[in-house]
Copies of this chain bind each other. A is one copy, B any other.
Amino acid sequence: MLLIINRNAIDSDINIIKDKIINLGLEIYENKGFNYHIIGVVGDKNNIDSVEFNKYKAVEKVVLIQEPYMKANRLFHPENTEIKVNDKIIGSKKINIIAGPCSVESEEQVVSIAKSVKKSGASFLRGGAFKPRSSPYSFQGLGIEGLKLLKYAGKLTGLPIVSELTSIKFLDDFVDNVDVIQVGARNMQNFELLKELGKTKTPILLKRGLSSTIEDLLMSAEYILSEGNENVILCERGIRTFEDYTRNTLDLSAIPIIKKLSHLPIIVDPSHGTGLWWLVEPMALAAIAAGADGLMIEVHNNPDEAMSDGGQSMLPEKFQHLMNNLKPISNAVDKEI
């Protein structure tokens, strides 16, 4: 960490900072030029809270040299992390596709979709039981009942299941029933939830928040990792920008950046990332071309209601089309699917 000292800072104010650094057991490297003055701070990263230094009168600016996350940092963990879920591995040469309905609605629905996506080549089944909806008047999910239906469909098809946890109230139910616990974009900085998840051993799928930088995402992963759970899968799902044609702006550059900064696997959710079903396939292909370890795709099966052409879910036949086209792209980047 570098402290850029204020041009007009007086010695007594500068000494307060130096005392603080030494009291924290850290070392000082000082550098003073004609029109600048810098204090470098060196020591155990754990002991330095850069925000603390921001507030001193004599400090103009704090410059971080090292990333603020450690356990998520590739620097200290050069090998890719591979996460085992039953017989699947996320983060290896094999691309994993997590597919399923937005919400679990009935046994018939979830079983039918599970069978269909498995046939098309999906390796995980997703389905929402607790739905975080911006309106209290919207359908909030079937709850625990939905979780059981999802588990049943997973068992029937042999697909591990992924579902979103929205409150620590249901933590035990999720640990008992779900193979991968999803943390949604809106809860990415629900730190109390992250800490509790860090105490479990269940793999966590952590989605990037709508206004979160890549560093924010890695810091949230650090919350889980630092409590002892090393099974964290990151997920890019779009950020909020001024462009309103799409629901969010899918930031695919996050894939190679996370691959550089961290050893954790990164997948992409083009369904939420765009909000339009016809954008899911091109963005899915692009995500794999950019190096993603997998995809999360919403699929439903209400052809009799002609649903889906406006929403973000794909019909099973469109999903099959996507899976067919993913194969040559995966091979082109030396992956399997």
Which residues from chain A sit less than 8 Å from chain B, CB to CB?
A: 2, 4, 6, 12-13, 16, 20, 27, 29, 31, 33-36, 38, 40, 42, 45-46, 49, 51, 53-63, 65-66, 68-69, 132-139, 166-169, 186-187, 189-193, 195, 209-211, 213-216, 219-220, 222-223, 226-227, 239-246, 249-253, 255-257, 260, 273-274, 278-279, 282-283, 285-291, 305-311, 313, 325, 328-329, 331-333
B257 touching A242, Cβ below 8 Å = no
Q: A136-B227, A286-B286 provided; 7 other pairs, C-beta below 8 A?
A: A2-B38, A31-B40, A59-B309, A186-B190, A211-B240, A256-B282, A325-B332
The answer for the CA separation of A243 and B35 in the assembled complex, in Å, is 26
Q: Which of A210, A255, A273, A306 has the most CB of B within 10 A?
A: A306
> Smallest distance from the beta carbon of A77 to chain B beta carbons, Å?
15
Complex A-B: 8 CB contacts under 8 Å: A51-B311, A55-B309, A63-B63, A132-B191, A133-B191, A166-B190, A214-B245, A285-B333
Which residue of chain B lies nearest to A63 when distances are taken between CB atoms in the complex?
B63
Contact B288–A282 (Cβ < 8 Å): no
- Check if A252 sits within 8 Å of B250, measured CB to CB: yes
Q: Is the CB of B40 within 8 A of A132?
A: no
